[in-house]
Amino acid sequence: MSNYIPTIGVEVHVELKTKTKIFSNSINGYGEMANSLTNVIDLAYPGTLPTLNEEVINLGIKAATILNCKIRKVMHFDRKNYFYPDISKNYQITQNATPIGYDGYVEITKENGEKKKIYIEEMHIEEDTCKSAHRGTKTLLDFNRAGVPLIEIVTKPCISSGEETKLYLEKLRELLSYGDISDCKIEEGSMRADVNVSIRKNESDPLGTKAEIKNIGSISNAKLGVEKEIERQTKLYENGETFLPQTRRFDDKLNDTVLMRVKETGNDYRYFPEPDIPFVVLTDEMIENARKTIPMLPDERRKKYLELGVSEINTKKLIQNRSLSDYFNTLLEEKTNHQVASNLLLGDISAYLNKNEKDITETTLTKERMLELIELLENNTLTSKNLKEIINEILESTETIKEIMKKNGIENITDDTEIRNIIQKIIKENPESVNDYKNGHDRAIKFLMGQVMKETKGKANPKMAMDILTEELK
Amino acid sequence: MKYLNKDIKEINKLLKSKKIKPIDLVEEAFENIEKNKDLNAYITLNKEEAIKQAKSLEDKEVDNLLFGLPIAVKDNIVTKDLRTTCASHILDNFIPIYNATVVEKIKAKNMIIIGKTNMDEFAMGSSSRTSYFGAPKNPWNPKKISGGSSGGSATTIAARDVLFALGSDTGGSIRQPASYTGIVGMKPTYGRISRFGLVAFASSLDQIGPMTKNVYENALLLNALVGKDEKDLTSVRREEEDFTRFIGKDIKGMKIAVPNYFMSDIVSSEIIDKVKEIIKLLEKKGATVDYVDVKYLENAVTLYQIIAMGEASSNLARFDGIRYGHSYENPKNIEDVYLKTRAEGFGEEVKRRIMVGSYLLSGENAKVYYNKALSIRDDMRKEFKNVFKKYDLMIGPTTTTTAYNLTDPMDDPRKSFMDDVLVIPVNMAGLPGLNLPIGFDKNNMPIGMQVIGDSFEEAKIYHLASFLEKELNLELNPFGGEEDE
């Protein structure tokens, strides 16, 4: 089989994280009783008019910024006219002529470390349609989703493989969820990707016939879908066959794409500017204000964490957990041991949170208490063994960590001279063991250490005790 | 006893002193409507509810001039729990679950909705003959049309059933029937009044407005209707003003423009002569009147057809039989639901406009027609603005002829648009315009004059109109103004 060059373009729809819908004040929610989140506007009752949710415009500006897009300062909405039961007005309000963002890019890092920019043609704001469910001969309509704000992000045909498609979608998901634009849950439909695939023999050839793959349920399926489609098209060409532009869907059971329909020519949506919504003019101030609310994005977090001495593995794990990473960010400016902080968050604290199904913001661990905790661990006043005993209390009470330790009888002796006195006494009382140690029996030091702990009722700071003991035995 | 033919301030005094109650006015209104029922002004009466509301007002303080007064509402303005048909079969069973913003506003004044008035189907037409419920008849001569599309509202005001009615005006639909029936009708500036709850015909042109027998009452009702509405993004926030404030004031020094096109041979000579008399009167009273050229006026109808039909084709797509209104029984599939519901539900004129509108927006046509029309409309707006830099107001005839016969042929759609050739430019430019009765033709049918102002200059329009109304002192009751016994 000879090699073809694949050309791939991706269209992604993400639902925006707003309180209300884009053109009405119905709640933007998921998983509620069918048609409970609707009003006369969503159902296109006669005489109703759209309003415009400003939150959507702000998120649009933020998304455009994150995707390195240029922002259109004077824009309007358009009507896309078509008859279908999923759109109550029988037209969708979208942005056809003046998408809010254009000419952007997202940078992916391939497995070999090579970076590639995936260019974004445009991104526009539009409304989601209603969900339809087919039951026998009947079709049921749930308008809860109708009017949920979406942005559609369209890449240039610049993606070359299933792997790149996957990396692009992962990066997009990371950026948009970190930017608080969307929760990007593919399984709930808040992120949906359609992929266009064509292949050609040489770079100089015109682009090949396009197949669009819809209904992709996961990012790994997007990769697989692209690969299967390249394979299918290659086989057809190799057998001297051609095919018509078509829409296919990814079938989870077959793990392959199947034909939905051959594309009809001349889809005529009769676009025209939406007369019910005046032109939207974005001022520099609006753009600046929206930009200011963009949280720190993953790339910047990664850079900062590594600079502060956090290990590669901890950095990666923190960024995978948005809420821990946000918590960690509150410590960035503090003079503390950030590696210890990350160990704490990813270790005992995570264990507690998982077990109790809590978010870190639901615990009592203020920044001040966290800093105290790190300090106590760092200077060995609190051992990691003792920490495990009191972690619940640390995260549930508001007392200082020292108070909690005291209440639990964890009071390590950290006074240098006091421990030295005790050690000197133990050495005097156990000349045999000292002898054994000096003759190379390492076990003897453990015995001596045991005696020290016994004498101090376990309150000696173990590291300090060991250091002094070793010193005194010289 | 008759009260509704009294001066509005007199009625208010009687209500305040409890000599009469709102129920007396409501009963009188229904008696009038019953007496004039052959005029076919109403599609649905709100009798039970109106009586109930009138009774509930008896203990309330009479706190404004509109308190307790019956009002008729055009049937394309949605009224909660009161059937709203748009004079179409497709909505003849539609009972809204919400009120239009204007309905909330008149309710806030404790006005009483008496019924829903007849109109052209979805306001598409200029004689109200496209109504599914048959055309209303002109009180001056029941063989004549009342005009349209707000023909029912014009009819009920001209017949003196009630003092107040709401109409809507997309391409002259308030002013033209007002002219044919000898009443005062105002289309306010686009954005003045919320369109929320007005069933859309052409969104960028539609505007609700007051229809009354005289200028003062018109301004009074407009006071109650205006204001920015969060539910309508095209409504405009303005400082509160009293539209009656210039009524009764002198017009000396007022500068008035008359577009040459309005006085050209497209208008009947009888009407031209009447307008010329008015011009003489105005000059005599100290106003200056100049004839001016206003570019694009002759293109207005063409632009209107493109914009209005394009928008209408999209606005009327929601009537598909799925969520409300008429629905074809036993459809075979979804195509059947759409095609047969709409084939049965819409009348001929509506279908014609949807088809033409769809064609105008198809493929490249949107660029060639609709977008081009929008851009010429902008030029037209600027042209009007320029005139208003030099002049306070613009006047001219409202219509090219007086009301014609109900039996005149309807088969030439271009002719029906020509009825509105003088009123359409005002919608295209988004300006306020008012019809004022200025006399009668040789058959005793009313002649109307249009007063056009710059954006948001309604008060100025009422100023001139009220002045002329007083000077002309016409008898405008088609039944001869019988006094109460």
Residues A188 and A167 in one domain: yes
- Tokens 């293109």 belong to B299
Q: How far apart are CA B106 and CA A105, in angstroms?
A: 54
| A153-195 pLDDT tens trace | 999 999 999 999 999 999 999 999 999 999 999 888 999 999 9
**Does any CB of chain B come closer than 8 Å to the CB of residue A267?**
no
Residues A370 and A275 in one domain: no
Residues A391 and A453 in one domain: no
If one counts every other C-beta atom within 10 angstroms of the C-beta of residue B373, the result is 21
| A19-48 pLDDT tens trace | 999 999 999 999 999 999 999 999 999 999
Residues A391 and A433 in one domain: no
Buried b (16+ CB within 10 A) or exposed e, A125-163: bbbbbbeeeeeeeeeebbbbbbbbbbbbbbbebbbeebe
Closest residue to B338, CB basis, from A40, A49, A83: A83
ipTM of the complex: 0.96
Residues A247 and A369 in one domain: no
Interface of B with A in 361-380 (CB under 8 A): 361-363, 366, 370-371, 374
Query: Does A291 map to a domain?
Result: no
Residues of A in contact with B323 (CB under 8 A): 43-45, 88
Say what the pLDDT of residue A436 is. Answer: 86
Torsion, CA A450, CA A455, CA A461, CA A466, rounded to 10: -40
Which residue blocks in B391-472 are alpha helix, DSSP H?
413-418, 424-428, 458-472
- Which DSSP category does A333 fall into? T
If one counts every other C-beta atom within 10 angstroms of the C-beta of residue B194, the result is 25
Residue A268 in contact with residue B362, Cβ under 8 Å?
Answer: yes
In three-state secondary structure terms, B291 is strand
Read off the pLDDT band of B216 (50, 70, 90). Answer: very high
Highest mean pLDDT among A47-51, A206-210, B405-409: A47-51
State whether B233 and A278 contact (CB < 8 Å): yes
Closest CA to A211 of A191, A193, A232: A232
Residues A225 and A338 in one domain: no
Q: What percent of chain B has pLDDT over 70?
A: 99
| Phi (first) and psi of residue A239, to 5 degrees | -85, 10
Strands B70-74 and A272-273: unpaired
Mean pLDDT over residues B154-167, rounded? 98
Residues of B in contact with A46 (CB under 8 A): 78, 84, 86, 91, 94, 96, 199-200, 318-319, 324
Residue B306 in contact with residue B440, Cβ under 8 Å?
Answer: no
| A42-82 pLDDT tens trace | 999 999 999 999 999 999 999 999 999 999 999 999 999 99
Token pair in block for residue A315: 């950095």
- Which DSSP category does A409 fall into? T
Residue A81 in contact with residue A100, Cβ under 8 Å?
Answer: no
Residues A262 and A156 in one domain: yes
Residues of A in contact with B346 (CB under 8 A): none
User: B1-485 domain in CATH 3.40.50.300?
Assistant: no
In three-state secondary structure terms, A116 is strand
Query: Does A290 map to a domain?
Result: no
Beta strands in B7-123 (DSSP E): 42-45, 70-74, 112-117
CATH number of the domain where residue A423 is located:
1.10.10.410
B249 is catalytic: no
> Could you tell me how many helices (H) and strands (E) chain A has, helices first?
16, 16
Last residue of one domain, picked from the residues A374, A407, A440 = A407
Last residue of one domain, picked from the residues A365, A386, A407 = A407
Torsion, CA B183, CA B187, CA B188, CA B192, rounded to 10: 120
Query: Does A176 map to a domain?
Result: yes
Residues A131 and A179 in one domain: yes
Token pair in block for residue B264: 């050209």
- Which DSSP category does B144 fall into? E
Residues A198 and A347 in one domain: no
In three-state secondary structure terms, B355 is helix
- Total domain count for chain A? 3
Torsion, CA B354, CA B175, CA B158, CA B191, rounded to 10: 80
Amino acid at B122: F
A466 versus B429: the higher-pLDDT residue is: B429
Residues A468 and A397 in one domain: no
Closest CA to A208 of A10, A11, A1, A5: A5
State whether A51 and B198 contact (CB < 8 Å): no
Say what the pLDDT of residue A414 is. Answer: 65
Residues of B in contact with A88 (CB under 8 A): 318, 323
Query: Does A237 map to a domain?
Result: yes
Residues of A in contact with B232 (CB under 8 A): 49
Q: How far apart are CA A105 and CA A66, in angstroms?
A: 9
Q: How far apart are CA A171 and CA A169, in angstroms?
A: 5
State whether A47 and B100 contact (CB < 8 Å): yes
State whether A46 and B310 contact (CB < 8 Å): no
Token pair in block for residue A61: 């500006």
Q: How far apart are CA B453 and CA B459, in angstroms?
A: 9
Read off the pLDDT band of B346 (50, 70, 90). Answer: very high
Say what the pLDDT of residue B485 is. Answer: 36
Query: Does A220 map to a domain?
Result: yes
Residues A268 and A311 in one domain: no
**Does any CB of chain A come closer than 8 Å to the CB of residue B102?**
no
Please tell me the pTM assigned to this model. 0.90
Q: Which residue range(s) make up the domain with A467?
A: 416-472
In three-state secondary structure terms, A302 is helix
pLDDT at B410 over 90: no
Say what the pLDDT of residue B483 is. Answer: 46
Integer CA distances (angstroms), B398 to B211, B270, B401, B419, B421, in order: 15, 13, 9, 9, 9
Show Cβ contacts of residue A114 under 8 Å, excluding neighbours closer than 6 positions.
none
For chain B, the 3-state helix, strand and coil shares in percent, each to the nearest 5, are 40, 15, 45
| Phi (first) and psi of residue A258, to 5 degrees | -130, 150
Residues A441 and A333 in one domain: no
pLDDT at B184 over 70: yes
Instruction: Collect contacts of A452-460 with beta carbons under 8 A, ≥24 apart.
Output: A452/A419, A452/A422, A452/A423, A452/A426, A455/A422, A455/A425, A455/A426, A456/A413, A456/A419, A456/A422, A459/A411, A459/A412, A459/A413, A460/A412, A460/A413, A460/A419, A460/A422
Strands A191-200 and A70-71: unpaired
A409 versus A324: the higher-pLDDT residue is: A324
**Does any CB of chain A come closer than 8 Å to the CB of residue B231?**
yes
